[in-house]
Structure 1
């Protein structure tokens, strides 16, 4: 029963991290996953970028980001009708991607269709939620095209305000260091109390070395998932608590064979705790990169 519970807890935790703990939107995840193709586009390798995103569109026909960057690649190749189609499709697939609204508005502006460009720029501003100065910059240009100078000045003022905010945040983040013993690490340390008690309980009730080793590995992998960069500290704490709990809170077995079995389980679990915590951290970082 304990083995089944440990397996369920471990895989439930991985499923949670993979599907629910990541608060990014689908398009934000896709943008991170398509970083190689985006880099091709940013380097003006439009043919290669088009081939990359054309293949993504075929495999993921509902991907707003794939259509957006295929359209931008087409624009770089001066295939404007195809670019218009792809960028409009990107907007229709995910109305919350401000970059898609922005690029569509820029194409309207380049075609001198300012009346269509302005609402698209406003939509980009709304979806960007004050995180990017670029939509304000381009809407200001559109207002200038229509000789709406007061509105243009207001947009350029907003652009400067957001740029100043971004600069201040960068300066603040470069000067303020995250403390090593943060709240997350303290909460994770509390979890180690449970996992250590579980390992000790399994060692005392084990009929072979396999189940204690399995529980030690699973618990340490979870620690690595929780703290991929500080898992070694949690592993060290778990080893300390396992040894302390075993020798101070349990009675030594009188039977020599049982004592030897528990020793094998105890010291083997300590070694596996360190190995598995690094494995858990590696798996967490690998999932985060996908």
Structure 2
């Protein structure tokens, strides 16, 4: 009887601990920890954000988000190789952050490595579950460079369905300008 009661309390403890106590991931904790720097990026204050995340990387060298956001700042400031390094570090620490794939793809695209950029954009689209128009549009742009025009057109149409006006513009340009999209 006592063993059964202890077993029941143990199961109850595990249930409470697993389902009721907040168990954030490392990325969730970092989002809270770095909320000030993330806000700086949202307000396009990239120089200040870079300084914030540069310190964050020094203080938390295992934080994928610190590297990802510092990489985003590098990318915005046209430090492409530094951005690529930081984004690669971010993905080696946590390979489930879609923005890191998108930003890494943009860096590779700017370096004219379209095949590798396509792979990164494809991963970004997958991690965003096909619901992020920017990732789909960038994948289309890399497909255009790889002369995969039919697939690029399908991507641009999907991005347009998600409300991306840049895709509407691209669909009016050659080689797509012969088709009318609504």
Q: Displacement, 1:74?
A: 2.1
Conserved in 2, the CA contact under 8 Å of 1:63 and 1:90?
yes
Counterpart for residue 100 of structure 2: 100
Counterpart for residue 78 of structure 1: 78
Point out 4+ residue stretches in structure 1 off by more than 4 angstroms: none
How many Å separate the matches in 1 of 2:161 and 2:127? Answer: 17
How many Å separate the matches in 2 of 1:110 and 1:148? Answer: 19
2:21 corresponds, among 14, 17, 40, to 17
Aligned residues: 150
Describe the superposition over 1:5-64 as per-residue Cα deviations: whole angstroms up to 9, x where unpaired.
xxxx9xx77x94332xx5xx4324423442220221233322211111122212221211
Counterpart for residue 234 of structure 1: none
Unpaired stretches in structure 1, ≥5 consecutive residues: 1-8, 165-290
Counterpart for residue 137 of structure 1: 137
Conserved in 1, the CA contact under 8 Å of 2:99 and 2:124?
yes
How many Å separate the matches in 2 of 1:28 and 1:159? Answer: 28
Could you tell me the TM-score, scaled by structure 2's length?
0.72
How many Å separate the matches in 2 of 1:130 and 1:79? Answer: 28
Q: Displacement, 1:76?
A: 2.8
Conserved in 2, the CA contact under 8 Å of 1:118 and 1:139?
yes
Unpaired stretches in structure 2, ≥5 consecutive residues: 1-12, 165-182
How many Å separate the matches in 2 of 1:29 and 1:137? Answer: 30
Describe the superposition over 1:203-228 as per-residue Cα deviations: whole angstroms up to 9, x where unpaired.
xxxxxxxxxxxxxxxxxxxxxxxxxx
Decide which structure has the larger Cα Rg and report it. 1
Q: Which structure has more helix as a fraction of its residues?
A: 1
Counterpart for residue 63 of structure 1: 63
How many Å separate the matches in 1 of 2:93 and 2:137? Answer: 25
Describe the superposition over 1:89-132 as per-residue Cα deviations: whole angstroms up to 9, x where unpaired.
11111111111011001111111110111111111111111332
Counterpart for residue 160 of structure 2: 160
Which has the bigger relative contact order, CA under 8 A and spacing at least 6? 1
CA RMSD of aligned residues (A): 2.5
